[in-house]
């Protein structure tokens, strides 16, 4: 892969969108990305046209549209397989940089720790869907469950957010353990926007220097 793949993870309300926007502006002003290449901003679920349809199914709050937990897992895997093959792999092969709002870590955190599905099954599906693609660096924007709920108080919850405090606590625990196991770059999302982007810049500079 000639390009770089950056993933930003975290529970809802952690500020992923804000920091991805800041990171995008900064990277666009550097000389890290060759002149004939691009910075691609994407997300999971919903990074492709097919993925947008899958996203609407996954996050719909209508009771009659609630998928079974295994069905939910398979839909996320289908979204990721399409995302990797249509967007991520071709972009990286061309030398483009890709920033994704969520990737495999979210599935393990939400479906593994949150839904209590078999982690090995999830990782097996991950291997099929990603076909060897993995991030060069993953950032975890870390906030407490209480802070997540507080930040989302005026926002309409999607189906995942409606699962409640205990579910979100398990998801948060999953992200913490994944961060330790996989050496993600954990940043407190309680810091100011400027402090967070400073840490992200530092880590990306280190990544490029080390390689």
DSSP-assigned letter for residue 63? G
Strands (E), the chain: 5-9, 39-43, 97-101, 137-142, 185-188
Quick one: which of 96, 100, 107 has its CA closest to 48?
100
What strand order describes the sheet that includes 5-9?
Answer: 39-43, 97-101, 5-9, 137-142, 185-188
| Residue 17 marked in a binding site | yes
Does 6 carry a binding-site annotation?
Answer: no
| 108 known ligand binder | no
* Residue 206 labeled ligand binder: no
Token pair of 131 as six digits: 């076909």
Which of 10, 17, 103, 111 lies closest to 58 in space, CA to CA? 111
Q: Is 30 one of the annotated binding-site residues?
A: no
The DSSP line for 151-188 is: HTTTS---TTGGG-HHHHHHHHHHHHHHHHHHT-EEEE
**Residue 105 in marked binding region:** no
Six-digit token pair at 196? 């967070």
Residue 10, marked binder: yes
Query: Any binding-site annotation on 112?
Result: no
Residues annotated in a binding site for ATP? 10-17
Residues annotated in a binding site? 10-17
């Amino acid at each position: 892969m000639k390009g770089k793949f950056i993933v930003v993870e975290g529970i809802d309300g952690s500020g992923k969108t804000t920091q991805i926007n800041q990171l995008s502006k900064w990277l666009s002003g550097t000389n890290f990305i060759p002149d004939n290449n691009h910075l691609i901003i994407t997300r999971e679920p919903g990074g492709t046209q097919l993925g947008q349809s899958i996203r609407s199914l996954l996050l719909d709050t209508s009771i009659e549209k609630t998928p079974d937990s295994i069905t939910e897992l398979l839909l996320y895997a289908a979204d990721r397989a399409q995302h990797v093959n249509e967007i991520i792999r071709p972009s990286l092969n061309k030398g483009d940089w890709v920033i994704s709002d969520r990737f495999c870590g979210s599935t393990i955190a939400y479906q593994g720790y949150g839904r209590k599905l078999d982690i090995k099954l999830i990782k097996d599906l991950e291997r099929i869907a990603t076909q060897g693609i993995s991030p060069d660096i993953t950032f975890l924007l870390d906030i407490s469950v209480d802070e997540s709920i507080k930040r989302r108080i005026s926002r309409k919850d999607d189906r995942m957010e409606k699962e409640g405090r205990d579910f979100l606590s398990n998801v948060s625990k999953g992200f913490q353990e994944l961060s330790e196991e996989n050496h993600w770059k954990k940043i407190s999302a309680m810091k100011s926007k400027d402090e967070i982007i400073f840490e992200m810049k530092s880590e990306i500079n280190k990544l490029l220097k080390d390689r």
